[in-house]
Amino acid sequence: MGSLVAILQKRSPVLHALEPHDTVTRAAHVMAEHSVGSVVIVYGGRLVGIFTERDLLRRVVARGHTPERTYLKDVMTPAPVVAQIGESRASAIAKMQALGCRHLPVVIGAEVVDVVSIRDLLYWELDERTGEVDSLRRYIGGIY
């Protein structure tokens, strides 16, 4: 299993940043508009949190908060665990499994550059395995 770089080089960054004083409504609009499940929360140029669809459900809706009057700083996941861009996909998956999360900010040093989802990682793995199986079938069938 390779590094995250391979995935990130094959697609445009999926990075939508908001600030702690933005509202949950703003985050929901950004996630819906871009068909993503998370936004990163950045303040003063540094990553301070992440807000996901799961946070929206559990920390806002289920608790009866009003999205228009609820700030991300109050319902985000603070100081999220991150992956370095050169980290292995296996390591990223292991972090997600350990945390029970589906989105992982990817950083270069301290700068957040992208977000990978468990779906990104699993689809990449599936495509890679499918390619290996096809190669083996061609080899066994005598088609090189």
What does the pLDDT look like over 1-15, one tens digit per residue?
578 888 888 787 889
Say yes or no to pLDDT of 25 above 90: yes
- What are the residue boundaries of the structural domains of the chain, listed by start? 4-140
CATH architecture classification, 4-140: Roll (3.10)
Predicted TM-score of the model (pTM)? 0.83
Q: CA–CA separation, 109 vs 16, rounded Å?
A: 19
Give the sheet arrangement for strand 103-108, strand by strand: 83-84, 103-108, 111-117
pLDDT digits (tens, 9 = 90+) for 76-120: 999 999 999 999 988 999 999 999 999 999 999 889 999 999 888
Q: What is the pLDDT of residue 128?
A: 63
Q: Could you tell me the sign of the dihedral formed by the alpha carbons of 133, 139, 143, 144, in that order?
A: positive
Do the beta carbons of residue 78 and residue 48 sit within 8 Å? yes
